[in-house]
Structure 1
Amino acid sequence: MNEEIAYFPTPFPNEDYRSILYRFHKCSGNKEVYLTSNELFGFSNEKFTVFPRNLSALFCKMPVNHSFNAESILKEHTLFNIFRPFISTHRLDGLYQEINNAVKPEHSNIGKLVGNKYGRCISEEIRYCTFCMKEDNQNYGVSYMHREHQIAFLDICPIHNQKLITDCPQCHIPLLDVFSGRCKQGHCLLLESGNEDINDDNQLKFKRKIYKDISFLLYTDQRMYRNLIDYRLQNYLFNRGYFKYVGALKRDKIILDICNYFSEEEILVLGLSIEYLKQRNTLEKLLYKDDELVPNIPLYLLLVQFLAGSMKKFIHDEIPPMASQVPFGFGPWCCENKLCPDHKKEVITKCERKIKRSRGITGEFSCTTCGRSYVKEWRWGKGDRGKFGLTSLSEDMKIRVIRLRKEGKLIKDIAIEFYCDPSTIRKVLEKDQSYSRQSAEVISRVQSEINNGLLQISATEIGNLKRDNYRSRLESFISKNPNKNRNEISLECRKEYRWLKEHDNEWLENHLPPSRSINRFSWNLVDLQLSQRVKEIAKQLVESNPGTRVGKYMIINALSKQERGRIKSYLKNLPVTEKTLNENVETVEEYQLRHIPALVKQLRTYYNYTIVSVENILAYRRSYRNCSVEMKRKINDILERLNIGY
């Protein structure tokens, strides 16, 4: 239907988009909202949506010289500008497409912007300020919805600092359209005493700060995009020292600082909680998942307040760009080999740097004079640790090592002579074939010593001693540091932790603190539970014998709101549920067989049939006429049972 509408309300300042539509609905003569929705947009909704959809259909029905456009509606009569800077360009294109043109309900995403449990931005209930209602009634003759009153985490009027109301103070009926200034029962709402005074000064100050940030986003003429927000956020975090050198976020540090900066009540004002902030990936999603459809606006506002003090400063203030120190500097570097003629002289011109997640940065320095290399460690915020370890040996040195070992010198003595770790000497000897042949003689001698009783401790006993030693060390550390978590224990007792993890994991798990990831949300568990619910609902629906076929959407609509939402939005995470849903849909043949008794009753009631045959059914219902022979046989069996006694 593309009939032109003769009238459309002129929007009032800051009037919510839904309020404009409700005013049109009042004047349209339609009894139900879904009729008005169908008239304006070509689809039926029981209530008007928070954000526009299919505006092109509305504009086509308006007079030719109308001044409306999608951008002005979004900017002046919705809260869309709050979300725009935090949504990727790719996602914005999809949302604009939905705002301007019709899309299928299953492809609709604009409604998801209102948010969820942690991160809800639009209030579920319509809110009013009685002071604003009174002023609107005096200035415009009607009271209307203000868009800034619908922000979920701000329950005060920013102008009057008064508590917003969602239902009538006298009869407690929810308020929807109160253009006359009265509720549905006729109680007057234009009373200044209808608002509740706010006594908590700290919360009120915090809410005012948040509202200033919201106002900046709503009214600024500067077009901000997601890449700008990401860039500024990362710069602030980097300059405050919240990034590790490898790029990972210091999540525990920033959460601790946020909890110290804000009171728990201030965090709760935004609909967040300390437990939510501590959850894994809560902050990482903001920094690394740049294609999220639903931005967590309250969390963004909390971070902006913490890092910059206000959204305006966050966007406009100059901050130093991200710049890192150069590990070990630019050289040249000294040779640390005491055997080298150029010991402690700056003769090394090349440094090979490698990132080691657990140890920061390592640098390998090779001296051309002695042929030796050594490794140093560099930590972010601490710099060069000063200690070094020699690594590879030159070919001449390897020959000397093998010669000294063949002469009977101990490995540890050779290592001291060459200023390196004994493991370096062992690697050189293991690669030398002449030494490998000699190793057989050494093994034979050791075996002889074992047989003579010189070595009485077996490999198993050595392993047990090692295990008991590591257990004792770890238990001692845990008892002295009861507040350390698993990650901190693994870093402090790296050697003991790794060995026990590989060789004695059961004991280790029983003595470590509980893992923080044990109670994490599991889609697999939800999938199994939801598939069972689908099976039960499908069975109940069939047993209730409805007049229509039990299809996929009938089953889904019979589920709870949460279950329906999960199937609609996260079906890709619910493979078992999807399979169960398809398996429990009633086929056409199953429905036709179930419906036979109802058809027989109709024929007997309205057409005076007594004995009903298959031919009667086929003549009465066209949908049965293409039945297979097997289907007709089943129908006949049912009819024979129903015809008994007639």
Structure 2
Amino acid sequence: MGNNGEKKNGVTAMIFFPNLYKDELLFSVLARFYQYSGDVNKKHFMFDLFDSSTTCASTIFPTNLEKLCESLPSPNAYSSDYFINNHTLLPYYSPFITNDRENKLRLIMKNEDGTNIFMSSGRTASTVKNEKKLKYCILCVDEEKQTQGECYWHRTHQIEGVKVCPIHNTWLIESSNPFTERKHKHEYISLEDSIRDSDLISLDTNLKIEFKHFLYVAEQTDYLLNNSIQPLGLENLKNFYISKLNKQQLVTLEGRIRWKQLIPKFNEYYGKQLLDTLESYIYPDENDTWLHKLLRKPRVSCHPLRHILFLEFLGENISTMVSQIGSTSYKPFGNGPWICLNKAADHFHKPILTSCVITRDYKTGLPIGTFSCSCGFVFSRKGPDKTNEDQFKIGRIKEFGCVWKEKLADLSQKGLSLRKMAEILGVDPMTVKRMMISNVEDPKKYLLL
């Protein structure tokens, strides 16, 4: 590939990488990169990116992202979490799945080839199926070509149920390119190469009356993708919904849902045509529908589109739901952004971290927060934070990152003592010594003093 350079950690390092645009699908970024590279061999291109011939050109849950980050030009501002949060579809699902499932999906996207990721995500079991074609907004295309000279696939436009552009309030156009079921699993297709005059038929197909509902779906989808909302908890979601139904007198004094009133009222609010289009119509004589699963003791996650539909029915939206659940929800490490504790970085002690993954200690049940920075520094601590000073503490360093390692290499050339280097880098002297002599690429979990 003509844009590659020297080896870095055993992976061929790129000489350049494209700028990333707001709400751009990572698939789109790599499609533009493929276009720039001039590489005609798709498998070679994939191998240069991911050091793997099995990684697929995925639109929904791209994988092997750690390998991709290793191959980026140095220094780079992108981490695997940055790609996941800003250029994949995971943030759309995150609020409505469990912490464990969200953590598992992140790990697969970072380190695996994605063979079982759809099974792990629950997508295969959903009755809301993927969109068949990649979609775009012609007004977005025109604006982007004027401002930046090229257009790109938006994340928001590809989500199930999104028929309208939330920026321009206009119907989307369906391209001729499949969203997931492409003939060549290694093929990246740019929007620039996809626009054809024969495709310029919008999705406005006898659905003008329902436009306001589709616009709401698009706006809420856009909000989900661009606001990094952590899992809200299935029980919290259920309680929130029932509290709103109670205000509409759709819950008995004993706390039972008045299903015979709720289901017809919900169906009437949208109409059968729209709900059929969104694969969400509820037959009144059924007693195990997606709405039952949403409002009974939660055992499974429901598709985000159905949460969005139910929120509009209740007169709420994602923002109001998050704020109301958040007012009573447990946040053991407070609200982000969190501060970076990499002493080797220029942004040390600055609140720039947007990624905090919360798990539970299997022995004590206490929350453990894992914080990731774009400089590559990843650390964790056991919570909850009880004082303001707790935010300055590290329990374990999980990844040092390239900035920290470059600082170590620089200090090692200055003849400083191990103790002095340890003081500068924020670790103990033995960690400095191990990092200087170790051949292990990414030592994990060194304890701090």
* TM-score (norm. length: structure 2): 0.59
Structure 1: how far apart are the matches of 2:281 and 2:79? 39
1:153 is aligned, of 161, 166, 170, to 161
Q: Per-residue deviation at 1:154?
A: 1.8
Structure 2: how far apart are the matches of 1:12 and 1:218? 14
* Residues 1:4 and 2:16 are matched in the alignment: no
1:139-538 map, 5 Å: 139-160=147-168, 161-167=170-176, 177-180=189-192, 183=195, 195=202, 200-220=207-227, 223=230, 225-227=232-234, 228-243=236-251, 249-275=257-283, 278=286, 280-288=288-296, 290=298, 292=300, 295-316=302-323
Q: Per-residue deviation at 1:102?
A: 1.6
Show CA shifts across 1:517-563 (max 9, x none): xxxxxxxxxxxxxxxxxxxxxxxxxxxxxxxxxxxxxxxxxxxxxxx
**Number of residue pairs matched by the alignment:** 309
Please say if residues 16 and 147 of structure 1, whose CA atoms lie closer than 8 Å, have aligned partners that are also in contact. Answer: yes
1:590-629 map, 5 Å: none
Structure 1: how far apart are the matches of 2:121 and 2:43? 20
Give the structure with higher Rg (CA): 1
* Residues 1:13 and 2:22 are matched in the alignment: yes
SS at match of 1:3: strand
Q: Per-residue deviation at 1:23?
A: 1.6
Query: Partner letter of residue 52 of structure 1?
Result: P
Q: Per-residue deviation at 1:233?
A: 1.9
The alpha-carbon distance between structure 1 residues 113 and 145, as it changes in their structure 2 partners (threshold 3 A), is: farther
Please say if residues 129 and 157 of structure 1, whose CA atoms lie closer than 8 Å, have aligned partners that are also in contact. Answer: yes
Structure 2: how far apart are the matches of 1:289 and 1:2? 48
Query: Partner letter of residue 61 of structure 1?
Result: S
Please say if residues 308 and 314 of structure 1, whose CA atoms lie closer than 8 Å, have aligned partners that are also in contact. Answer: no
Q: Per-residue deviation at 1:63?
A: 2.4
Show CA shifts across 1:367-409 (max 9, x none): xxxxxxxxxxxxxxxxxxxxxxxxxxxxxxxxxxxxxxxxxxx
In the other structure, the counterpart of 1:625 is none
Please say if residues 57 and 188 of structure 2, whose CA atoms lie closer than 8 Å, have aligned partners that are also in contact. Answer: no
| Higher share of residues assigned strand | 2
The alpha-carbon distance between structure 1 residues 115 and 130, as it changes in their structure 2 partners (threshold 3 A), is: farther
The alpha-carbon distance between structure 1 residues 267 and 178, as it changes in their structure 2 partners (threshold 3 A), is: same
Please say if residues 98 and 231 of structure 2, whose CA atoms lie closer than 8 Å, have aligned partners that are also in contact. Answer: no
Query: Partner letter of residue 267 of structure 2?
Result: C
Query: Partner letter of residue 177 of structure 1?
Result: I
Q: Per-residue deviation at 1:311?
A: 2.8
Q: Per-residue deviation at 1:253?
A: 2.9
In the other structure, the counterpart of 1:57 is 67
Q: Per-residue deviation at 1:86?
A: 0.3
Structure 1: how far apart are the matches of 2:37 and 2:54? 15
Please say if residues 220 and 318 of structure 2, whose CA atoms lie closer than 8 Å, have aligned partners that are also in contact. Answer: yes
Please say if residues 27 and 188 of structure 2, whose CA atoms lie closer than 8 Å, have aligned partners that are also in contact. Answer: no
Q: Per-residue deviation at 1:103?
A: 5.6
Q: Per-residue deviation at 1:225?
A: 1.6
Query: Partner letter of residue 141 of structure 1?
Result: G
Structure 2: how far apart are the matches of 1:277 and 1:49? 37
* Residues 1:48 and 2:55 are matched in the alignment: no
Query: Partner letter of residue 237 of structure 1?
Result: L
In the other structure, the counterpart of 2:33 is 24
In the other structure, the counterpart of 1:534 is none
2:111 is aligned, of 101, 114, 136, to 101
SS at match of 1:166: strand
SS at match of 1:167: strand
Structure 1: how far apart are the matches of 2:53 and 2:295? 38
Unmatched segments (≥5 aa) in structure 2:
1-9, 329-449
Q: Per-residue deviation at 1:179?
A: 4.8
Structure 2: how far apart are the matches of 1:209 and 1:241? 25
Structure 1: how far apart are the matches of 2:204 and 2:268? 29
Please say if residues 176 and 194 of structure 2, whose CA atoms lie closer than 8 Å, have aligned partners that are also in contact. Answer: no
Please say if residues 63 and 114 of structure 2, whose CA atoms lie closer than 8 Å, have aligned partners that are also in contact. Answer: no
Please say if residues 102 and 231 of structure 2, whose CA atoms lie closer than 8 Å, have aligned partners that are also in contact. Answer: no
Q: Per-residue deviation at 1:145?
A: 0.8
The alpha-carbon distance between structure 1 residues 43 and 230, as it changes in their structure 2 partners (threshold 3 A), is: farther
Please say if residues 101 and 121 of structure 2, whose CA atoms lie closer than 8 Å, have aligned partners that are also in contact. Answer: no
The alpha-carbon distance between structure 1 residues 108 and 39, as it changes in their structure 2 partners (threshold 3 A), is: same
SS at match of 1:127: strand
SS at match of 2:13: coil
Please say if residues 162 and 197 of structure 1, whose CA atoms lie closer than 8 Å, have aligned partners that are also in contact. Answer: yes
Please say if residues 18 and 49 of structure 1, whose CA atoms lie closer than 8 Å, have aligned partners that are also in contact. Answer: yes
Structure 2: how far apart are the matches of 1:226 and 1:117? 19
Please say if residues 34 and 45 of structure 1, whose CA atoms lie closer than 8 Å, have aligned partners that are also in contact. Answer: no
What RMSD in Å do the two structures reach over aligned CA positions? Answer: 3.7
In the other structure, the counterpart of 2:45 is 36
Please say if residues 25 and 87 of structure 2, whose CA atoms lie closer than 8 Å, have aligned partners that are also in contact. Answer: yes
Using the aligned pairs only, state the percent identity.
20
Q: Per-residue deviation at 1:38?
A: 3.0
In the other structure, the counterpart of 1:421 is none
SS at match of 1:8: coil
Q: Per-residue deviation at 1:201?
A: 4.1
1:132 is aligned, of 140, 144, 157, to 140
Please say if residues 263 and 284 of structure 2, whose CA atoms lie closer than 8 Å, have aligned partners that are also in contact. Answer: no
Query: Partner letter of residue 272 of structure 1?
Result: S
Structure 2: how far apart are the matches of 1:104 and 1:143? 28
The alpha-carbon distance between structure 1 residues 71 and 306, as it changes in their structure 2 partners (threshold 3 A), is: same
The alpha-carbon distance between structure 1 residues 81 and 179, as it changes in their structure 2 partners (threshold 3 A), is: closer
SS at match of 1:4: strand
Please say if residues 149 and 155 of structure 1, whose CA atoms lie closer than 8 Å, have aligned partners that are also in contact. Answer: yes
Structure 1: how far apart are the matches of 2:13 and 2:313? 51
Show CA shifts across 1:579-606 (max 9, x none): xxxxxxxxxxxxxxxxxxxxxxxxxxxx
Please say if residues 166 and 219 of structure 2, whose CA atoms lie closer than 8 Å, have aligned partners that are also in contact. Answer: no
Please say if residues 24 and 155 of structure 2, whose CA atoms lie closer than 8 Å, have aligned partners that are also in contact. Answer: yes
The alpha-carbon distance between structure 1 residues 39 and 181, as it changes in their structure 2 partners (threshold 3 A), is: closer
Structure 2: how far apart are the matches of 1:104 and 1:45? 7
| Higher share of residues assigned helix | 1
